[in-house]
Amino acid sequence: MKLVWLRRDLRAVDNTALNSAIESGEPVTAVFIATPEQWHQHHMAPRQADLIYRRLSALQQELRALNIPLLYKEVSDFEQSANSIVEIAKLCEVNEVLVNQDYEVNEQARDKQAQSALAQQGIGWQSYHDKCIIPAGSLLNKQGQYFKVFTPFKKAWLAVAGVPIISATQSAAKAALAKAVQPLVWNQQQLFSYPREDSSGWEVDFESIRSQLRSFCQERMDSYHEQRDFPAIDGTSSLSPYLAIGALSARQCMARLYAESKMGFLSQGAQTWLSELIWREFYQHLLTFEPKLCKGKDFLYWGRYVKWWQEHDHFERWCQGETGYPIVDAAMRQLNQTGWMHNRLRMIVASFLTKDLHIDWRWGERYFMSKLVDGDYAANNGGWQWCASTGCDGQPYFRIFNPITQGEKFDESGVFIRHWIPELSSVPDKYIHAPWLWAGVNSVLYPSPIVDHKAEREVTLDMYKQARDKDIHVA
């Protein structure tokens, strides 16, 4: 018997480890091990925990149709999960455990421990590159080094990435579970001690997820490049929560993208969306070469010399959407109320935290992970370091988003702002992005700006210049 250990790959279709187990011709069992203490350490959002919980119930039905039972166990952390997989493998009398690789440091240590312990019991271990279309760590430049800039990475990626073929998953050989294993079978009343918040805004069954992918590719993909930056428009795919927990694979996205393209020709919108998938892979590849990214380190060495401010009150006001800058506050309220934030807004609020409030990007990174239903460590870390200008291929430190002009450009008439900040509903369009300039502002229960953007921009330029100069001096 084969045992498939599911982690961030909660799908029955296009799952490399699962398909390999089925192809062996032997009976297959799947298992998911929850690790609430580890999730707390990783700041997992309760909404994402709820999405995982709900997805497990749907996945059980999908696996059952393939003659594959889904087992469940809860332990505290990764170390205990590694021990538990050995116990479950022995109970199921399996000869091999199959997994899809995770690339973060703690996850790698977990798998190394599990593989060693299984080997002592004479049980095999097989891992697969499944999360990325191009195996993480396999793409190098002509000098044999990893790519530190996205554009050449993308060029090399496109040169080797073929269009994936997604095949239907075959049924596994039937097998009866031993009595000792039966209590581990997942059920909808299963205990799940990690805190959860409502994720019902996202469907969790395979057909609904696939339908959402198809609808986006058929109806909005071609205009994606024109509409993706405007938060009041439904111009994005909103598939990121499914990619984050592996309910959908990047290969499925790319295959559908080409399937809906005419004669294999990608429209500008399709090319832009494909670039976003490649960005996701770029950040995942970086983790395999730079483990320090999993340890709270700046990618660029000089980042350690930036003297971040310890303004806890300003940070709290940023978290609650009370900075006095409407586009920033509307974005943060969207995050707090839904667990999701539009990508353009993620850049705006990250720039504001690091370059208007001068607060350490790591504070924002942790807060995002604690709220995002689509929290993915590599993408979140990469995005925050990009905005803070301390990361790989980050925006230049002197490029600082102006929260007023960003709002004017991407939410001109304030439709998005008024939706999330109803107290600004009476503010005229002319003043919606700077309500403190409106003569009737005293009638509005909305805070004044906590900082002056123009002044803080100069402070940021000086901060970063000092950090870079110190790096040169130390070198």
Tokens standing for residue 281: 């892979």
Number of neighbours of residue 262 by Cβ within 10 angstroms: 9
- 438 is an active site residue: no
d(CA 243, CA 374): 8
d(CA 391, CA 395): 8
457-to-389, 451, 454 alpha-carbon distances in Å? 14, 10, 5
- 361 is an active site residue: yes
Catalytic residue among 5, 202, 273, 279: 279
Catalytic residue among 67, 336, 343, 402: 343
Instruction: Tell me the one-letter amino acid at 332.
Output: M
Catalytic residue among 26, 203, 308, 322: 308
d(CA 383, CA 376): 11
End-to-end CA distance of the chain: 56
Q: Residue 127's beta-bridge partner residues?
A: 99
In order, the DSSP letters of 161-225 are -PPP--PPPPPPBP-PPPTTTGGGB--TT----S-----TTS--SHHHHHHHHHHHHHHTGGGHH
Catalytic residue among 361, 363, 386, 420: 361
Q: Residue 140's beta-bridge partner residues?
A: 146
Residues 6+ apart with CB under 8 A from 70: 30, 31, 32, 56, 59, 60, 63, 64, 185, 186
What are all long-range contacts of 358-362, with beta carbons under 8 Å and residues at least 24 apart? 358/308, 358/309, 358/311, 358/456, 358/459, 358/460, 358/463, 359/308, 359/309, 359/311, 359/314, 359/315, 359/318, 360/308, 361/385, 361/387, 361/388, 361/390, 362/296
The helix or strand, by DSSP H or E, that contains position 127, with its residue range, turns out to be strand 124-128
Number of neighbours of residue 178 by Cβ within 10 angstroms: 10
- 402 is an active site residue: no
d(CA 150, CA 168): 33
d(CA 17, CA 258): 25
d(CA 253, CA 169): 17
Catalytic residue among 276, 290, 311, 408: 276
- 316 is an active site residue: no
Residues that are catalytic = 276, 279, 308, 343, 361, 384
